Amino acid sequence: MSRETDRDTFEYALLRVVPDIERGELVNVGVLLYCRHREHVAARIALDVDRVRALDPHTDLDALRDALDAWERAVQGEGPAAVLSPGERFRWLTAPRSTVLQPGPVHTGLTADPEAEIERLVTRLVRPTS
């Protein structure tokens, strides 16, 4: 079997916005994905401002966008994350936190194409279905 058709395990977590921590309501805004065998870590963000505003019209969208940008830079290995391996970056980003921007639980699967997989997950789990 060629490497192109092999399926490898991958892990993923949803990235969620929880505008009011005490209420616990959330909006999925992205996916973090890690495939150890391919040393591949990626993030895809799809911020739907209307959905966030529906939960809390006073959400600081500039601060939220800055936080999302920081997560994307960390996934790419920029800043303090530069010294971390792809797996360490994924573990660091998926560690539980009590902030407005939170990772969900880590799930697993099999894929032959991590980039296609993250696009499938964002389409299914993050983008509105209308």
pLDDT at residue 59, rounded to an integer: 94
> Any bridge partners for residue 101, and if so which?
17
Could you tell me the pTM of the whole model? 0.89
Q: Residue 37: what pLDDT?
A: 93
Helix, strand, or coil (residue 37): helix
DSSP state of 23: T
The per-residue pLDDT for range 85-107, each reduced to its tens digit, is 999 999 999 999 888 999 999 99
User: Residue 9: its pLDDT value, please?
Assistant: 96
Q: What does pLDDT average to over the chain?
A: 93
